[in-house]
Structures are given as structure tokens and as C-alpha cells.
């Protein structure tokens, strides 16, 4: 007699009905997750700051910071300085923390779930003068955290050159006096000849000094230009100068938790500000737009206009990135701020698996808005199907039973029964897999549980 073994998913799915409340109440689960996240913290602490190196045109400052981020999202903190800076090549790097320095700002990006981490931040400071200066750095997240370091005065090369010139002129004067004393008995012709020769030598020495001084000045200019080129020179990348202003649909602000309209064009506006930066023609500033929107590509140049009508550059949007390019009109402007706005449409594919999306419009590490979408209507149903392990002389059959609750309320005390025909063995190898649905109503099967694991989840 041939005995048939049956792999029966139906029996375990009867147990799964008891668990169905958990995955048919997604909004409650999301709310609970958000509440937990709110209890977590992220912070940046500016501990101390020291002067490591001090030259005529630059200095090296070392600052100790402590960063932590116990949230589920990456956080970005900003440190603001009173002088242009750049990140030293040998600055300390730690896993989960990314450091960027440009112009007068330091960005500290901290990955999610990062415990408090101490690291040494080394900065090259571009000095405005060789005279004594004070370097200051402020933690934007906590403006009471401000550290200062005094950079002492440095004697300039020009002063040294002037001193050398004075010494050489005094030496020449003494030599000329000696020559005149030694030649008083010579004829007028000899005296005139020697005087002419001395004059020629003096001119040659002066030309040599002038040439040496000119070479030193040219070297100084070249070094200074190289030091400033990456910070305030033409075609510098200014980074993120944008701040989120508003997000609207048909002129009305979109409220937190609003449902997405995929067929609508939303209006977004940013404020931009370069007043604390030295901006030149050709300098650029960029902002990566949130990935929940459809990407624009190669948009035509649009004018960047100040409140008085002055056009100070153009902007484009390409592959999800907003980019400003300034022209010469930005130089010397008393007003260096304004607004930029345009339309965006939501990307339906971003909501396929996640019905709820948090949006950080200006990448400051803080959520600005949460939007949601409602999936297609799902009917309550139950479906059973069997699959033989072979089309001939089958020894096993796997039964699959799908139970779908399309109603608003969870199923309670549900019971699933099935009568097995005579001649088959006992059911075994139960598997339970939760079913969720995307925004289009397509079923998504989760990783399966064994019976033991499933009972542990209840």
C-alpha cells in the first residue's frame, strides 16, 4: 500500500489567523515605530579647540567633538566659523561619521544608530592678515557652544626684505665713503671714471635686489592664490545654501500625514542665502532633491533674481539635483539672498513597498513632512490550491491556503478546518508567510516562519 504524505499549509494558516491582527493594522504599527524613534536622541558636542600651527597666511586648528545619533535616520550637524577653512588631509576619520569643510562651515554627517563617538577635527584656516586674529567656531545645534583660539601675529617677509635693503644700503654708503677718501689725490679724470664705475656697480646691485624682491612677491601671490582657490576663488562649490520654505498643492500648504496625489503637480519653494560667503562669478551651489519625486533632467536655465530685479545667475534641475551658477552680478551685492520655486510630482514607485514616506526637503537632518498613500481596494477572500511533487506516482502534495481580510477590522477567533481524504498520511512541515499589499494592490509575500518560530511570534 502506498502511503501519501501531505504538506499541509492550511493547518498552520489556521494558527496564522490569530496573528492576522498584527499585519492588518499597519498604521498602528507605524505609529508605534514613530513613537519609539521620538524617544531616541542625536546630538553634537564641541568640546575643546587648540592652535597646532601658525603661519603668515594660514593656521592649523584642532578641535575635539563628540557626535551621536540614536535615531533610525542619518543626521547632519553644522559648525560655523568666522574665517574660511578646509579639512586637513590628516584629520581623524571614524566609521559612521563623514566630515566636510567648505568656506565657513563644517558639516558632520552621522549615520543612524551611532553611539557617542569622540574624534579630533583638524582644520586649515585661511587667515585674513598676518596680524593677531581670533578664530571662532560655533555649534549651530547649540549656539551656546562657541570656542575661540587666538592666532598670534607673524612678522611678514616684506619687513625682512626692507631690513635687508637698509643694511645693504648702509654697507654701500660706507664703501663709497672709503673709496672717496682713498682717491682724493687722483686726477679729476680718474675720479670721474671711478665714480662712473661705482655708479654702474650700484645700479647692478639695485637691479639684483629689485629682481629678488619681485620674485619673492610673486611667490607670495602664487601661494596665497593657491591657498584661497579651493575656498573663495572662482568656480568654488558653495555646498548647500538652501533652506526649505514651503510645500503646497493648489496654493495650500500640504499638511503632515496628507495622502499623495500622483497625478498632481506640487509647488515647492526654497530660500537661499550667501551673505556669509565670498561668492564670485562661476561659483556653484547644489541641493539633492528628495528621491520621493520624479527626477527632472536637463531643464532649461532659469534666472536667479534678487528682490530688486538683478539677475545674479541661473539654475537648472538635472537628475534630481538643483544647481545654482552665479555670475559677476553677485560680486559686491549688498543683498545676497532670495527664493527659488518650481513644481514636482511624486514618484509612484517609491510607495510600492512603503506606504508612508518621511521627507527632509533641505537635508538638514530633520523631517519636514510625512506623506502617505492608500493601497488599492482588497477583497476578503480565501483560496486553496494543491501542487503534486510529480505528475506520475506522486508521493507528496503541498497545499497552499491564502486568507485575505479586506475589511477595516481584524479577524478575531477565526477557525480554519479541512477534511483530509482517506489514504493520505498526517499533515506535516507547516509554513506560515504573512501577505502584505503594495499601493497597487499587488501581494507581497514575507519571509516564511516555521511553526515553532510562528508560535514564538504570538
Q: Distance (Å, rounded) from C-alpha 244 to C-alpha 359? A: 11
> Domain 42-151 - what CATH class?
mainly beta
In this predicted model, what pLDDT tens digit does every residue of 223-248 receive, in sequence order?
A: 544 443 444 444 788 988 999 999 99
- Write down the pLDDT at residue 169: 55
Domain boundaries, the chain: 42-151, 239-372
In this predicted model, what pLDDT tens digit does every residue of 12-38 receive, in sequence order?
A: 444 454 444 444 433 333 333 333 333
- Burial class from Cβ neighbours inside 10 Å (0-12, 13-18, 19+) for residue 351 reads buried
In this predicted model, what pLDDT tens digit does every residue of 138-180 receive, in sequence order?
A: 888 776 788 899 989 886 544 444 545 555 555 555 545 455 5
Per-residue burial over 180-195, b if 16 or more Cβ lie within 10 Å, else e, is eeeeeeeeeeeeeeee
| 91, 140 Cβ separation under 8 angstroms | no
Say yes or no: do domains 42-151 and 239-372 share a fold: yes
- Write down the pLDDT at residue 334: 81
Helix (H) or strand (E) holding 249: strand 242-249
- CA 311, distance to chain mean position in Å, is 28
Kindly state the percentage of the chain with pLDDT values over 90.
19
CATH number belonging to the domain at 239-372, selected among 3.30.1220.10, 2.60.40.1280, 2.40.160.10, 3.30.200.20:
2.60.40.1280
pLDDT under 50: residue ranges of the chain: 1-15, 17-40, 157-161, 163, 175, 177, 184-188, 191, 224-234
- Count of helix runs (H) and strand runs (E) in the chain: 5, 28
Q: Distance (Å, rounded) from C-alpha 304 to C-alpha 283? A: 13
Q: State the cell numbers at 357.
A: 514616506
For CA atoms 346, 350, 353, 357, the dihedral sign is negative
DSSP β-ladder status, 266-273 and 381-388? unpaired
Cα-based distances in Å from 141 to 46, 122, 364: 10, 20, 11
Per-residue burial over 367-381, b if 16 or more Cβ lie within 10 Å, else e, is eebebbbebeeeeee
Amino acid at each position: 500500500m502506498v502511503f501519501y504524505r501531505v504538506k499541509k499549509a492550511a493547518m498552520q494558516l489556521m494558527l496564522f489567523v490569530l496573528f492576522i491582527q498584527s499585519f492588518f493594522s499597519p498604521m498602528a504599527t507605524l505609529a508605534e515605530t514613530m513613537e519609539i524613534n521620538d524617544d531616541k536622541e542625536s546630538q553634537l558636542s564641541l568640546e575643546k579647540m587648540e592652535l597646532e600651527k601658525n603661519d603668515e597666511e594660514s593656521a592649523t586648528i584642532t578641535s575635539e567633538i563628540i557626535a551621536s545619533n540614536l535615531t533610525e535616520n542619518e543626521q547632519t550637524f553644522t559648525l560655523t566659523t568666522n574665517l574660511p577653512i578646509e579639512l586637513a588631509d590628516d584629520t581623524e576619520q571614524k566609521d559612521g561619521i563623514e566630515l566636510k569643510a567648505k568656506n565657513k562651515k563644517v558639516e558632520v554627517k552621522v549615520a543612524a544608530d551611532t553611539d557617542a563617538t569622540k574624534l579630533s577635527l583638524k582644520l586649515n584656516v585661511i587667515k585674513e592678515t598676518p596680524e593677531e586674529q581670533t578664530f571662532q567656531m560655533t555649534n549651530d545645534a547649540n549656539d551656546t557652544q562657541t570656542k575661540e583660539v587666538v592666532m598670534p601675529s607673524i612678522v611678514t617677509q616684506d619687513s625682512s626684505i626692507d631690513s635687508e635693503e637698509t643694511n645693504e644700503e648702509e654697507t654701500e654708503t660706507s664703501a663709497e665713503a672709503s673709496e672717496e677718501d682713498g682717491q682724493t689725490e687722483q686726477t679729476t679724470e680718474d675720479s670721474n671714471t671711478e665714480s662712473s664705475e661705482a655708479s654702474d656697480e650700484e645700479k647692478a646691485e639695485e637691479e639684483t635686489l629689485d629682481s629678488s624682491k619681485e620674485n619673492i612677491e610673486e611667490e607670495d601671490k602664487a601661494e596665497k592664490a593657491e591657498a584661497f582657490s579651493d575656498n573663495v576663488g572662482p568656480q568654488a562649490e558653495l555646498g548647500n545654501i538652501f533652506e526649505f520654505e514651503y510645500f503646497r498643492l493648489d496654493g495650500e500648504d500640504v499638511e503632515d500625514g496628507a495622502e499623495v496625489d500622483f497625478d498632481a503637480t506640487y509647488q515647492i519653494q526654497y530660500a537661499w542665502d550667501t551673505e556669509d560667503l565670498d561668492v564670485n562669478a562661476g561659483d556653484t551651489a547644489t541641493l539633492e532633491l528628495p528621491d520621493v519625486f520624479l527626477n527632472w533632467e536637463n531643464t532649461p536655465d532659469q534666472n536667479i533674481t534678487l528682490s530688486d530685479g538683478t539677475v545674479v545667475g541661473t539654475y537648472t534641475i538635472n537628475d534630481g539635483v538643483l544647481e545654482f551658477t552665479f555670475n559677476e552680478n553677485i560680486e559686491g551685492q549688498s543683498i545676497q539672498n532670495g527664493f527659488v520655486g518650481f513644481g514636482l510630482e511624486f514618484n509612484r514607485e517609491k510607495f510600492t513597498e512603503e506606504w508612508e514616506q518621511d521627507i527632509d526637503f533641505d537635508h538638514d537632518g530633520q523631517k519636514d513632512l510625512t506623506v502617505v498613500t492608500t493601497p488599492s481596494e482588497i477583497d476578503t477572500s480565501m483560496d486553496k490550491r494543491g501542487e503534486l511533487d510529480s505528475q506520475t506516482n506522486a508521493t507528496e502534495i503541498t497545499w497552499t491556503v491564502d486568507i485575505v481580510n479586506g475589511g477595516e477590522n481584524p479577524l478575531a477567533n477565526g477557525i480554519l478546518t479541512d477534511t483530509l481524504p482517506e489514504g493520505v498520511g498526517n499533515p506535516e512541515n507547516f509554513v506560515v508567510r504573512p501577505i502584505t499589499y503594495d499601493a497597487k494592490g499587488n501581494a507581497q509575500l514575507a519571509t516564511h516562519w516555521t511553526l515553532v518560530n510562528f508560535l514564538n511570534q504570538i
